[in-house]
Amino acid sequence: MPYSVSIISGKGGTGKTTVSVSLYRMLTRHRDVHVHLADCDVEEPNDLLFFPEFKTVKGEQVNKLVPVIDKDNCTYCRKCAEYCEFNAIVVIPPAEYASVNNDLCHACGACLEACEFNAITEHPEPIGTVNFIAGRNGVGITEGRLKIGSTMQTMMIRETKKRITEDHDIIILDAPPGTSCPVVETVAGTDFVIIVAEPTPFGLHDMMRIVELLEEIGIPFGVVINKAGMGDRKIYGYIGQKKIKTISEIPYDRNFAAAIARGRPEEGISIEIEEQLEKIAEDVLGRYNLSKG
């Protein structure tokens, strides 16, 4: 099993992708470890933007199975509509009306269990694509890309993770923002989590929520403070009080931000930032070596 590290943040825009992409770039320099990047921010995957030289090798469509009601067998008993947690099924007996709203359907299969008359069958409906992207020297990216308008983020992440091949030493998972199901799905089963936090009131608030979540799931974690120097010092108090390991502190640097906006972060890396990014890579390598025993 490869060693896996999730990069999460709670608040959006704190630098998950910056840290993921930088960590990936640093680790690819180590010839003895094979590293792979998984973009699990399926609603807006953007890791690939930082690797214009990489090529998409294959795209695999991911489907959800949505129910279709066969009106010849349907008795309009409404049991399926009552089973449906997502109000995706509307059955109006006097009108002999029964229909499924695919946008609301979460493909849980409860209606199939409910139906006693064999009136429900499942049909595949695309929710997105998993793209397999290759760089040089055999490194690559697995990217989950949700179809616009689909509400199946969590399933898309699960299906993306399933398709990551096992022939790597370290896998970096770039998570979506937030603290809800898609984030839980991303970190599930991973060995370590890096929280990217910024020292602002919002950054602290969302970090506290994500720490609560990780404590409940029980995955070890450390924090990378990004944009250090902006905002206030309150986040340091919280980190100290909770005895959370600070892996590195990336200073706020306008040049670096501008270079990231251009899609070429390496053009804006100062020596100080380079050192802080290296600390993250060393920390992950250390944990990977420990995991090998």
Partner 1 sequence: MKTIITSAGNKLSSQFELRFGRAEWFCLYDEESGKTSFHENMHIDDGHGAGPKAAEKAYELGAAKVISGDFGPKAKDILTQMDIQMVIVDNDNQTVKDIINMIK
Angle between helices 16-28 and 271-292 (to 10 degrees): 70
Closest to partner 1 by CB, 70 or 103: 103
Instruction: Say whether residue 188 binds partner 1 (CB under 8 A).
Output: no
Are 41 and 21 a contacting pair, CB within 8 Å?
no
Q: Whole-angstrom Cα distance, residue 197 to residue 14? A: 6
Compute how many residues bind partner 1; rule: CB under 8 A: 13
Q: Whole-angstrom Cα distance, residue 141 to residue 103? A: 29
Closest to partner 1 by CB, 81 or 214: 81
Closest to partner 1 by CB, 56 or 99: 99
In whole angstroms, how close is the CB of 21 to partner 1 at the nearest point?
34
In whole angstroms, how close is the CB of 103 to partner 1 at the nearest point?
8
Closest to partner 1 by CB, 143 or 185: 185
Closest to partner 1 by CB, 97 or 261: 97
**DSSP state letter for 176:** P
Closest to partner 1 by CB, 99 or 165: 99
- Count of beta carbons in the 10 Å neighbourhood of residue 154: 18
In whole angstroms, how close is the CB of 34 to partner 1 at the nearest point?
42
Report which residue type is found at 74. C
Q: Whole-angstrom Cα distance, residue 133 to residue 56? A: 4
Site map for partner 1, 76-115, x if CB under 8 A?
----------xxx-xxx-xx-x-x-x-xx-----------
- Phi and psi at residue 257, to the nearest 5°: -60, -45
Report which residue type is found at 107. A
Which residue's structure tokens are 């919280």?
Answer: 238
What residues line the site for partner 1 (CB under 8 A)? Answer: 86-88, 90-92, 94-95, 97, 99, 101, 103-104
